[in-house]
Amino acid sequence: MTAQSIAGFLVLDKSTGISSMKALARVRILARDTAKGAKSGHAGTLDPLASGVLVIGIGRPATKLLSRIVGASKRYRTEIDLSGFTASDDLESEVEPVSVEAPPTQDDIQSALGRFVGDIMQAPPAFSAIKVDGKRAYQLARENKLDSLPARPMKVHELTLVSYEWPSVTIDIHCGKGFYVRSLARELGEALGTGGYCESIRRTAVGPFDLEQARTLSDLPDSIREGDLICIEEAISMLQEDIDVKDDDHA
């Protein structure tokens, strides 16, 4: 096996406090002896304050499939604090408390969540990497030059209320490409007449790749080899099975 022959997918459980690109850079270092010169990339950015599944492709056969994985549905679990808003819709910004006369009931929250299921319009967070006139939205937001972004069409397959005890609500999300969990927090709060920002975001799956297959950076060997990766053939089979399951669900 030559150094350039390694190819496949690594499902990383990214921790909070590190960007997706820095996590990818760490993996590249660990694969430098077995994938020297090979292309690599990831299938969808996670914010530094978010944790969970980051699918990394190593080698050209894998990176060619990344766009297909990027387009797959995603699953998240998020904890939302309804007692305030923040400029970034998470804990990156200072919390501005909201006065709530009577906390919503669990039925109120369940009813409000129903508004965000199906084909919806969603406004991305102002603190996002979307480009506006050649600049990242978060750069403009930090300079107080951007208050909001226009809404875009999104697909939400399911929202499940996991638990609720004022002011914290935990929700499981199954959504399409481009969905912003932080926007759900903000818009849910607006719908309820409360606040709404993410205390935590954890991505539990990208298409068929989930936390059961994931390894943390500290779990990885000093030198990543072919056996540490999901091979191309298996990944293609997993992606096809994921499509078949969705087709059966909509039959």
Q: For 181-212, give the secondary structure using H, E and C.
A: HHHHHHHHHHHHCCCCEEEEEEEEEECCEEHH
Taking the C-alpha atoms of residue 5 and residue 28, their distance in angstroms, rounded to an integer, is 15
Do 80 and 57 fall within a single domain? no
pLDDT for the residue numbered 136: 73
Q: What percent of the chain is predicted at pLDDT more than 70? A: 88
Q: Phi/psi of residue 200, each to 5°? A: -155, 150
Q: Which of 2-16, 82-96, 99-113, 207-221 has the lowest mean pLDDT?
A: 2-16
More confident residue, 62 or 137: 62
Find the catalytic residue in 13, 47, 81, 89.
47
**How many domains does the chain contain in total?**
2
Q: Does the predicted model carry a pTM greater than 0.85?
A: yes
pLDDT at 34 (0 to 100)? 83
Give the whole-angstrom CA distance, residue 149 versus residue 128: 10
Domain that holds residue 141: 74-205
Q: Evaluate the omega torsion of the peptide bond into residue 125 and state whether it is cis, within 30 degrees of 0.
A: no
Where residue 147 sits, what CATH number does that domain have?
3.30.2350.10
pLDDT at 222: 93
pLDDT in tens, 22-76: 999 999 999 988 877 789 999 999 999 999 999 999 999 999 999 999 999 999 9
From the number of C-beta atoms within 10 Å of its C-beta (0-12, 13-18, 19+), residue 222 rates as exposed
CA distance 149 to 147: 7
- The type of residue at 209 is F
What are phi and psi for residue 181, nearest 5 degrees? Answer: -65, -40
Q: What pLDDT does residue 12 have?
A: 98
DSSP 18: S
**pLDDT tens-digit series, residues 98-125:** 999 999 999 999 999 999 999 999 988 8
Instruction: Tell me how crowded residue 171 is: count the other CB atoms within 10 A of its CB.
Output: 22
* Stretch 122-130: mean pLDDT: 77
Q: Where are the beta strands (DSSP E) in the chain?
A: 8-14, 40-42, 50-58, 74-81, 84-85, 96-97, 118-122, 131-132, 135-136, 152-165, 168-175, 197-206, 209-210
Does 14 lie in the same domain as 80?
no
47 belongs to the catalytic site: yes
Predicted local confidence at residue 147, as pLDDT = 67
In this predicted structure, the answer to whether residue 247 has a pLDDT above a threshold of 50 is no
Handedness of CA 136, 142, 143, 144 (dihedral sign): positive
Q: Are residues 78 and 57 in the same domain?
A: no
Same domain, 171 and 48: no
Q: Do 143 and 195 share a structural domain?
A: yes
212 and 93 inside one domain = no
- Whether residues 36 and 120 share a domain: the answer is no
Percent over 90 (pLDDT), the chain = 76
**Averaged pLDDT for residues 220-235:** 94
Averaged pLDDT score across all residues of the chain: 90
Q: Is the pLDDT of residue 130 over 80?
A: no
What's residue 36's pLDDT? 74
